[in-house]
Homo-oligomer: A and B are copies of this chain.
Amino acid sequence: MSDSVGVVKTKFVTFKDDFFFESGRVISQVTVAYETYGTLNEKKDNAILVCHALTGSAHAAGFNREDEQKPGWWDSMIGPGKAFDTNKYFVICSNFLGSCFGTTGPSSIDPHSKKRYALKFPVVTVRDMVKLQKKLVDHLGIEVLHSVAGGSMGGMQALEWGVTFPYATKSIIPIAASAAITPMAISFNAIAKFAIMKDPNWRGGDYYDDVMPTDGLAIARMAGHITYMSDESFHGKFGRRYSAYEGIYDFQGFFEVENYLRYNGYKFTEFYDANTYLYVLKAMDIFDLSYGRNSLKDALRLVTAQSLFITFTSDFLFPPYQTEEIVNLMKEIGQNPQWENIQSDYGHDAFLLEFEVQTGIVRDFLEKVK
């Protein structure tokens, strides 16, 4: 595959100094898992940081093994000739703080107690994630990024980069994101949180030496899954098709959409940690770009990077009106954001699926960034 970055190894770096959380908590020896694609040029000015979403990882493109079945989560956007063209750019993706794919999080071993952190891990915020990414970028010897991009919670990180480190990135590309999620989105996350915490196997988060709260985590994922789709995509993908081997009058007979949600819910429990899911949901819930900055407008005054916002018409988890609000405020204060509201039936998942239309938009934007 000439447009693939090929086989890529996940790298790790551990920072020996203390890491201070937004909450005031401190931990030491934070490890970051990350991958890079393409080559950093001599001037070190061609680096782009890509930020992953809720349950993503550092593995954004290519394959970790020759025989890996599925490429990284944004492989359609990262590679030679793609939107994030690895012939031109040095693309970095790191697993965010609090996750369970190599970067320190609730399922990591606390170096002091030699036991897993579980609920002793500090509450993580998007700002914490961004601060750790900055440490990684420093570690790689990069002073100024060409861009920071990401979808969903990755877009929140891109936005936060623009406000927290305006001097360290020339541009930001928040996709399918917002400055704070809606109360409706919080409600979906609440279903997920209660499902996990009410699973008797969760046991206050101390389940690592025993059975996992699999049912709770599966139900949590199912609730999330609904928000990634749209009324249109549910119709298109499933309609009201019923299982071929069950009757509609069978008490436990299921529609195909139910089987799909269940299958993917339980599949998720094979690779994701329940406490981690609670922590990342919390980070998503409490993210508020304006927090401690007087107002959203004042927060946005700090942005000096060029900005490209992308939204999708059928995304009800991060409705386009939220980005419209940001864009309008930025214009009011004399900034010049670019906003593309893409017509799509894929709902929130569109940022992963609508790569063709995004490619043109992102490529043109990155060309113009100075």
Contacts and interface: CB of A to CB of B under 8 A. Distances in A.
Contacts of A184: 226, 229-231, 234
Interface size class of A (residues with CB under 8 A): 35 or more
Contacts of A195: 195, 219
Contacts of A180: 240
A169 to B, nearest CB: 26
Interface stretch (A48-56, A244-252, A301-309): A244-252
A250 B123 contact: yes
B251 A194 contact: no
B24 A249 contact: yes
Interface stretch (A26-34, A37-45, A185-193, A356-364): A185-193
Nearest to A124: B249
A54 to B, nearest CB: 17
Contacts of A248: 123, 286, 291
Most chain B beta-carbon neighbours within 10 Å: one of A23, A184, A282:
A184
Interface string A258-292: 10011001000000000000110010011010010
Contacts of A125: 249
Contact of A191 (B222, B239, B250): B222
Interface in A170-221: 180, 182-184, 186-188, 190-191, 193-195, 198-200, 215-216, 218-219
A165 interface: no
Contacts of A191: 191, 219, 222-223, 226, 261
Interface centre among A123, A219, A279 (most CB of B within 10 A): A219
B226 A187 contact: yes
Contact of A258 (B186, B215, B251, B291): B186
* Copies of this subunit: 2
A183 B230 CA distance: 10
B251 A119 contact: yes
A272 to B, nearest CB: 17
Interface in A225-247: 225-226, 229-231, 234-235, 237-240
Given A119-B251, A182-B235, A249-B22, A240 B187 contact: no
B198 A240 contact: no
Contacts of A24: 249
Residue with the greatest number of chain B CB neighbours at <10 A, chosen from A198, A239, A316: A198
Nearest to A347: B184
Given A223-B223, A234-B184, A23 B249 contact: yes
Interface string A301-331: 0000000000000001001000000000000
A190 B123 contact: no
A255 interface: yes
Given A195-B195, A218-B194, A262-B194, A186 B249 contact: no
A30 to B, nearest CB: 18
A288 B239 CA distance: 13
B194 A257 contact: no
Contacts of A262: 190, 194
Q: Nearest 3 A-B pairs (CB), nearest first?
A: A23-B249, A198-B215, A183-B234
Given A123-B248, A186-B255, 14 more contacts: A21-B249, A125-B249, A183-B237, A183-B255, A184-B230, A186-B257, A187-B234, A191-B222, A191-B226, A194-B219, A194-B262, A195-B195, A195-B219, A231-B316
7 contacts: A180-B240, A183-B257, A186-B240, A187-B234, A187-B258, A194-B215, A198-B199
